[in-house]
Amino acid sequence: MRNQYQERSTVIRIIFLTVGIIFIVRLAFMQVFDSEYRRQADRQALRPITQFPARGLIYDRNGELLVYNEAVYDLMVIPRMTKGLDTNMFCRVMGITRDEFDARMRKACKYSTYSASPFMKQVSKEEYGSWENSLYKFRGFYVQQRTLRVYDKPIAAHVLGYVGEVDQSEIDADKFYKQGDYIGKSGLEKSYEEVLRGIKGKRIMQVDVHNREIGSYMNGAYDTMAVEGGNLYTTLDASLQEYAEGLMANKRGCIVAIEPSTGEVLAMVSAPGYDPNLLVGRVRGENYQMLLQDISRPLLNRALIEHYPPGSIFKVAQAVTALQLGVITPNSGFVCDKSLVGCHNHPSARSVQEAIKMSCNPYFYQVYRRVIQQGKYKSIYKDSPYGLTVWRDYMLRFGFGQKMGIDLPASGITPGFIPDTAFYNKRYGRERWAFSTIYSNSIGQGEVTVVPIQMANLACIVANRGYYITPHLVRYYGPDSVRNEEFYTKHETGINKAYFDIAANGMYDVVHVAGGTARRANIPDIDICGKTGTAQNIGEDHSVFICFAPKEKPKIAVAVYVENARGGGGYWAAPIASLVIEKYIRGEVTRKDVEKMYREAAPCQKLPLTRVAKKKKK
Amino acid sequence: METKIDWVTLLLYAAILVFGWMNIYAACYDEAHTAILDLHTMHGKQLLWIGISVVIALIITHIDPHIFSSMSYLIYLVVIGLLVVVLFVGTVTKGGLSWIDFGSFKFQPSEFAKFATALALGKYMSSLDLDYRQLRTKLIAWGLILLPAGIIILQHDTGSALVFASFLLPLYREGMSPRILIVGLVAVVLFVVTLLLGKYKLILVGVLAAIALLYLFGWLNKRTRKHYIWVTAVFAACTLFIFSVDFAFEKVLQPHQRDRIYVLLGKTDEKTNSTTGYNVYQSKIAIGSGGVFGKGFLKGTITKADFVPEQETDFIFCTVGEEWGFVGSTLLILAYIGLLFRLVTLAERQYSKFSRIYGYSVASILFLHLFINIGMALGLLPVIGIPLPFFSYGGSSLMAFTILLFIFLRQDQERTNPI
Ligand SMILES: [Zn+2]
């Protein structure tokens, strides 16, 4: 039994041996009898040259070119091939010193002596022209073309982002990148990197003993063409962006303008900003360090990353949520009882609309109490967690408490915070808290924080009377005009449209009726609906205003944050927002005096506003 | 009674390991990084893997060999579990999804599926009162092999899945009909000839029809009815196969797999991705330019200038060919064939059926890797990325091959105590 089929071991040995013999015979033919391979190898002075595709261009919503490319040249070196180099002549031709030469060569050798690495990076077209014809004298050196970004208007730096050299972790993460390649590091350049970068090509050149390229290898049979990167067609309005950036001069804060019906971001300003041309080319590293160390943090996109207690603006969301839950009616009136929570002097509000207009704190204290303690349970310690869960669910539907799904890198977006029962249980203990513990949320001052873009989105929700489309910056991209379907879906709040009409009426009164908190935003002929707020801050509070216009069929929704600005939302943020709206709807601003005043005003005198140092020439 | 470990195998293993490391050192050699134990370099890391493998080998040779037999199914199930896990949490490398990432350490369960399958198959086939002719037996044996292979195909790692075909040899040794081997061979030949003929494939059908007719009405006198039916059926099957080749080629194979086959058949004028052709061409130039005695250690030019891709892993044989020439390459191949022969000898001297089947599995797995890897470097087979055993750069594969081999050597030591 054991030795059954033993003869088959011989068959198996024969199979093994046959394959071995085939291999050895094949090797004999290739290595011993055929000298063609050897000759090929000797002639194999081949140089694979990567063809870098031009990065995709970026346009604004009207077809204006925001970002394009210019050609620069990298002088590459393969150290092993430079034996016998006339170093003195080389230094003279290239215009570098001997020490510089040695340092660069050491660096190249450290990378690899066999593979090419950049010797001189980003040489301009003119400089390249001055030694192009002498290059053949220097064995081991050749030139590789690359492109750099150019910005005609120094605007929208935070949105566009910048491009930089790949670091080791990026090389490890994606085989596409090689040492010295460029990659989008922030903004749209990063989030649309795979669209913008294109596909690299490869040309294999034959090189003679004098290091001259004598043509394509095998007539280019093994070459691949580079494919240009896809263009981005953004939603930005370049002239509005430029105008809004001008309004934020000498200030800190941000402006977000969105077309409510589409979620398209028309302008996104974060101040102080910087000229995007600063982060291009050989001066990039130095300028980047300078911007990084600036205490006013010009590299941050405040519209997405800062989060503040929302202040009075939050009351709009509370009003419609309470109406939807049926815990108040449009005609509910509450006495302005300053013993509950502080307020300014005004007649008591007799309706939701009036309460929004007057921004009455005790009124919303009462509203929030009815939301949190709906009476489902006898014990308020059981009732409050129930109410909070219901309330939180509504707040999330407004886009609060979660990262906005805008098409910018998620690492630069803050979710903000809407507390849940787990949060309060941890802080106070299970069934140890109730409405009276958390009432500050009612006026946007408790644990709640929101991000400026979420505030702009709230204005969109009221403008749309109940839904929003995720704010986004790119309409379509690439040669096939690809659209991101996610940016065409309506996110419904599930709140009755009629309640939003009430909120819109209240916001209309804020700007237009005596006793409203933002009369300064009033422009004849344009129906602006808005809500002021004050974001509490260590130090001077921030002035906040959200609004949309016109009241019917709104074309634009705006959120404005001015940091450390005394006087509340009505004083600083509201007039700035009204200028943005006027500029967008009319095309130009007629109130030149107002424009001039707010352009020049600098609200935060106490903190020195470090101006970005003078732009270094590339 | 315990005997000494088989020193012939051990010596061949060590020789291949050392020669392999030298070639990895040469393949990624750079004058600026010559330190041997630099863990940022491939040869430095490989040295670490070799050290770990030696420790693993030592451990295996000191544990009770019966444990492998008794734990076979458990090991098999664990590895299958890991393979399924990879499907969900794996990292994508080289277009395939087959790694589990533990921080900086990557682990490829498909490498370990080979010895697990060998154990499970050996265990099952060596069960007492097993009737090989029963359909149930065949189905279970095939199931044991095809289950891991199938999951690995789902991970888009066709090369590793192909290795499971090597279990045909131990099955054949245990009495499986050779028919399936012959059918496989005929299928491959027909596939290649059909692709080579392209639109002239009717010629092939004609030739087959002529052979069938000659066979039926020519010199053969055994004209029974059964015989007619058989020959006609075989002819019909072949014809059907020929006409389905195009379909399978276009619909089943991935574009890069089609490219690789076209390149192999010299049909580069077809719509191929020229990169594949370039790689194979460079590989052949590297090997061919080695000549009789090679260019010498660290003196290769083609493999140094980044012309050959994956030169530390799948194309490591290029470095051997270029730097050690015909003599070195032949010696390496002879060392491998010697190892395989020795393993067959060891397998035949086992008292237990489990050990014999396992031994044949080891030899066959090593053989298939050798066959595909060197065949590809020599331009005889399409580009299929699998490592050369004990030789290519890579921790998972080296450790898995070491475990595979030493489990067998451990059983061989105890061969007189049948399990
Ligand atoms: Zn009040």
pLDDT top residue among A17 and A569: A17
Alpha-carbon Rg for chain B in angstroms:
23
| Burial of B97 per CB tally in 10 Å (0-12, 13-18, 19+) | middle
Residues of chain A found within 8 Å of residue B389, distances taken between Cβ atoms? none
Residue pair B124/B69 in contact (Cβ under 8 Å)? The answer is: no
**Chain A nearest-CA residue for B32:** A110
| Chain A: residue whose CA lies nearest to B174 | A5
Tell me the shortest Cα–Cα distance from A88 to chain B, in angstroms. Answer: 25
Instruction: Measure the CA–CA gap between A350 and A335, rounded to whole angstroms.
Output: 8
The pLDDT of residue B271 is: 39
**If pLDDT is split at 50, 70 and 90, which confidence band does A607 have?**
very low
Q: What is the CATH number of the domain that holds A186?
A: 3.90.1310.10
Pick A62 or B220 by higher pLDDT.
Answer: A62
pLDDT band at B220 (very low <50, low <70, confident <90, very high): low
Q: How many Å apart are CA A249 and CA A247, to the nearest integer?
A: 6
Nearest-CB residue to A6 (from B31, B348, B363):
B348
Residue B418 lies inside a defined structural domain of this protein? no
- A109 touching chain B per CB within 8 A: yes
Segment B84-102 shows an average pLDDT of: 62
CB proximity under 8 Å: A 68-107 to B:
80
pLDDT computed for residue A402 by the predictor? 94
For residue B419, tell me if it sits in a domain: no
Percent of chain A with pLDDT over 70: 93
Give the tens place of pLDDT for each residue, B326-358.
999 999 999 999 999 999 999 998 888 899 999
Mean pLDDT of chain B: 81
Nearest CA in chain B to A44: B302
Q: Are the beta carbons of A600 and A250 closer than 8 angstroms?
A: yes
Torsions phi, psi for A68 (to 5 deg)? -140, -170
Whether the predicted pLDDT of B36 surpasses 70:
no
For residue A503, how far is its CA from the centre of ligand 1 (angstroms)? 17
Same domain assignment for residues B99 and B14: yes
- Kindly state whether residues A220 and A313 are assigned to the same domain: no
Whether pLDDT at A167 is above 80? yes
Residue of B nearest to A109 (CA): B32
Whether residue B324 sits in one domain with residue B248:
no
| B213, pLDDT greater than 70 | yes
Residues B27, B150: one domain? Answer: yes
pLDDT at A17: 93
Residue showing tokens 């055993």: B389
Angle between helices B179-197 and B225-247 (to 10 degrees): 50
CA B410 – CA B378 distance, rounded (Å): 35
B371 C-alpha to ligand 1 centroid (Å): 86
Statement: residue B312 has pLDDT above 70: yes
- Ligand 1 mean position, distance from CA A151 (Å): 50
Considering the domain architecture, whether residues B161 and B101 belong to the same structural domain is answered as: yes
Which chain B residues are within 8 Å of A44, Cβ to Cβ? 285, 301-302, 307
Q: Are A17 and B360 inside 8 Å of each other by CB?
A: no
User: Among the three residues B197, B227, B252, which one is the final residue of a domain in this structure?
Assistant: B252
**pLDDT of amino acid A211:** 55
Residue A169's pLDDT is 85
* Whether residue B43 sits in one domain with residue B191: no
Residue B384 shares a structural domain with residue B304 = yes
For chain A, say whether B353 makes contact (Cβ under 8 Å): yes
CA–centroid distance, A510 to ligand 1, in Å, is 14
> In this structure, are strands A474-477 and A264-271 parallel, antiparallel, or unpaired?
unpaired
- Whole-angstrom distance, CA of residue A104 vs CA of residue A115: 15
How many angstroms does the Cα of residue A363 sit away from the middle of ligand 1? 7
The single residue listed with the structure tokens 């009377």 is A465
For residue A24, is it within any domain? no
A125 in B contact zone (CB under 8 Å):
no
Helices and strands (DSSP H and E) totals, chain B: 15, 3
- Nearest-CA neighbor of B371 among B153, B322, B363? B363
A97 and A243 share a domain?
no
User: How many whole angstroms from A355 Cα to the centroid of ligand 1?
Assistant: 8
C-alpha neighbours within 13 Å on the C-beta side of residue A21:
6
> Is the per-residue pLDDT at B105 higher than 60?
no
Virtual torsion, Cα A486, A487, A490, A493, nearest 10 deg: 90
Please say which residue of B201, B222, B252 terminates a domain: B252
* Lookup: tokens for B208: 């087959």
Torsion of CA B292, B295, B297, B299, to 10 degrees: -170
A420 inside domain: yes
Alpha carbon of A509 to ligand 1 centroid (Å): 16
How much distance in Å is there from the Cα of A350 to the middle of ligand 1?
11
Does A9 contact B374 at a Cβ distance shorter than 8 Å?
A: no
Residue with more model confidence, A565 or A513: A513
- In this structure, what token pair is assigned to residue A403? 């990262």
In which domain, by residue range, is A442 found?
238-278+303-600
Which H/E stretch holds residue A210?
A: none
Tell me which of B200, B231, B252 is where a domain ends. B252
Q: Which pLDDT belongs to residue B33? A: 59
Task: Report the Cα A486 to chain-centroid distance in Å.
Answer: 17
Contacts of B277 in chain A (CB under 8 A): 222
pLDDT at residue A446 tops 90: no
Query: Would the CB atoms of A222 and B336 count as touching at under 8 Å?
Result: no
Task: Name the β-bridge partners of A232.
Answer: A58, A477
Tell me, what's the pLDDT at A210? 53
Residue A18 in contact with partner chain B when CB distance is under 8 A: no
State how far the Cα of A436 lies from the Cα of A380, in Å rounded to an integer.
10
Answer yes or no: is pLDDT of B107 > 70. Answer: no
pTM (predicted TM-score): 0.61
Tell me if A221 and B321 make a contact (CB, 8 A cut-off): no
pLDDT at B304: 61
Report CA(A567)–ligand 1 centroid distance (Å): 18
Q: Which residue has the tokens 């085939």?
A: A22
Residues A310 and A433 in one domain: yes
Give the confidence band of B307 by pLDDT, cuts at 50, 70, 90: low
Residue B380's pLDDT band, with cuts at 50, 70 and 90, is confident
ipTM score assigned to the predicted complex: 0.89
Please tell me the distance from the alpha carbon of residue B396 to that of residue B384, in angstroms, as a whole number.
Answer: 18
For residue A272, what is the domain's CATH number?
3.40.710.10
pLDDT of res. A1 = 42
Residue A265 has phi, psi (to 5 degrees) of -80, 120
Query: How many CB pairs below 8 A link A and B?
Result: 126
Q: Print the domain residue range for B387.
A: 7-176+263-413
Nearest chain A residue to B322, by CA: A31
Residue B337 touches partner A, C-beta closer than 8 Å: yes
**Residue A528 maps to a domain:** yes
Residues B88 and B195 in one domain: no
Query: Residue B301: pLDDT above 80?
Result: no
A467 to chain B nearest CA, in Å? 36
Return phi, psi of residue A143, to 5°.
Answer: -115, 140
Domains held by chain A: number: 2
Angstrom distances, CA of residue B218 to CA of A132, B210, B212:
78, 10, 9
Residue B112 lies in a domain: yes
Whether B265 shows a pLDDT value over 70: the answer reads no
Closest CA to A407 of A251, A121, A188: A188
What does the alpha-carbon distance between residue A432 and residue A101 come to, in Å, rounded to a whole number?
72
Task: Catalogue the E-assigned strands of B54-213.
Answer: 91-93, 96-102, 105-107
Q: Are residues A268 and A197 in the same domain?
A: no
Alpha helices (runs of H) in B268-394, residue ranges in sequence order: 274-288, 316-348, 353-377
Residue B243 lies in a domain: yes
Whether residue A248 sits in one domain with residue A221? no
Q: Report the C-alpha gap between B390 and B398 in whole angstroms.
A: 5
> Residue A516 Cα, ligand 1 centroid: separation in angstroms?
13
A117 CB-side CA count, 13 A: 15
Q: Are residues B17 and B144 in the same domain?
A: yes
Asked if B156 and B207 sit in the same domain, the reply is no
d(CA A303, CA A414): 10
Q: What chain B residue is nearest to A17 in terms of C-alpha separation?
A: B337
Q: Is B328 on the interface with A (CB under 8 A)?
A: no
For residue A500, is pLDDT > 90?
A: yes
Give the lowest-confidence range in A150-159, A587-596, B295-304.
B295-304
Best mutation target, A1, A3, A11, A23, to test chain B (most B CBs within 10 A) = A23
Is the domain of A454 the same as that of A483?
A: yes
B158 plus B193 within the same structural domain: no
pLDDT above 90: residue B256: no
Taking only residues 161 to 220 of chain B, the set having a beta carbon closer than 8 angstroms to any beta carbon of chain A reads 169, 172-175
Query: What angle in degrees, to the nearest 10, is found between the helix axes of A361-372 and A314-325?
Result: 40
Residue A521 CA to ligand 1 center (angstroms) comes to 22
Q: How many CA atoms lie within 13 A of A561 on its CB side?
A: 34
Q: What is the pLDDT of residue B278?
A: 67
A178: contact with B, CB 8 A cutoff: no
Query: What band does A244 get if pLDDT is binned at 50, 70 and 90?
Result: very high
The CA distance from A24 to the nearest CA of chain B, in Å, is 6
Any B CB within 8 A of A26 CB? yes
Whether A225 is covered by a domain: the verdict is yes
| Closest residue, chain B, to A3 (C-alpha) | B348
Query: Which residues, at least 6 apart from A495, have a Cβ–Cβ distance to it below 8 Å?
Result: A320, A321, A323, A324, A394, A466
* C-alpha to C-alpha distance for A280 and A261, rounded to whole angstroms: 36
Is residue A613 very low, low, confident or very high in pLDDT (cuts 50, 70, 90)? Answer: very low
Residues in chain B, overall count: 419
Q: 3-class SS at B34?
A: coil
Chain B contact for A488, CB < 8 A? Answer: no
Percent of chain B with pLDDT over 70: 80
Ligand 1 centroid to residue A532 C-alpha, Å: 15
* Cα distance between residue B51 and residue B17, in whole Å: 11
Same domain, A92 and A226: yes
Cα A452 to middle of ligand 1, angstroms: 26
CA–CA separation, A258 and B176 (whole Å): 73
B residues 25..84 contacting A (CB < 8 A): 30-32
CB B373 within 8 A of CB B386: yes
pLDDT tens digits, A171-186: 888 888 887 788 999 9
Contacts of B235 (CB under 8 A, 6+ apart): B208, B209, B212
- Same domain, yes or no: B126 and B246: no
- List A519's β-bridge partners, or say none: none
Is B1 a domain residue? no
Query: Any CB–CB contact under 8 A between B292 and chain A?
Result: yes
Tell me: pLDDT of A558 over 80: yes
Q: At residue A571, does pLDDT exceed 60?
A: yes
Split into its structural domains, chain B has a count of 2
Is residue A265 one of the residues assigned to a domain?
yes
Whether A618 shows a pLDDT value over 50: the answer reads no
Do residues A418 and A561 share a domain? Answer: yes
Highest mean pLDDT among A166-180, A251-265, A538-552: A251-265
In DSSP terms, A182 is beta-bridged to A165
- Count how many residues are written for chain A: 618
Q: Domain check: are A144 and A252 in the same one?
A: no
SS3 category, A530: strand
Contacts of A38 in chain B (CB under 8 A): 288-289, 291
Determine the residue type at A574.
Answer: A
Chain A residues in contact with B281 (beta carbon < 8 A): 222
**Do B330 and A44 make contact, defined as CB atoms within 8 angstroms?**
no
Q: Is residue A615 a part of any domain in this protein? A: no
**Angstrom distance (rounded) from CA A558 to CA A462:** 12
Cβ contacts of A27 on chain B, cutoff 8 Å = 287, 321, 326, 329-330, 333, 378
pLDDT at B24: 87
pLDDT tens profile A274-308: 999 898 887 888 888 989 888 888 999 999 998 88
Residue A155 has, within 13 A of its CA and on its CB side, a CA count of 25
* A188 min Cα distance to partner chain B (Å): 26
Report the pLDDT value the prediction gives residue A213, as an integer from 0 to 100: 67
Partners of A381 in the beta sheet?
Answer: none
Q: Over the range B122-143, which residues count as b (16 or more CB within 10 Å of their CB) and which as e?
A: bbbbbeeeeeeeeeeeeeebee
Is A156 a domain residue? Answer: yes
For residue B304, the distance in angstroms to the closest alpha carbon of chain A comes to: 7
pLDDT of residue A214: 65
pLDDT for the residue numbered A328: 94
pLDDT surpassing 90 at residue A6:
no
Question: Comparing B205 with A604, which gets the higher pLDDT?
Answer: B205
Q: Which residue has the tokens 């010199």?
A: B219
Give the closest of A8, A9, A41 to B289, CB-based.
A41
Q: How far apart are CA A579 and CA A592, in angstroms?
A: 10
Q: Can you give the pLDDT at residue A514? A: 80
Whether B217 and B149 map to the same domain: the answer is no
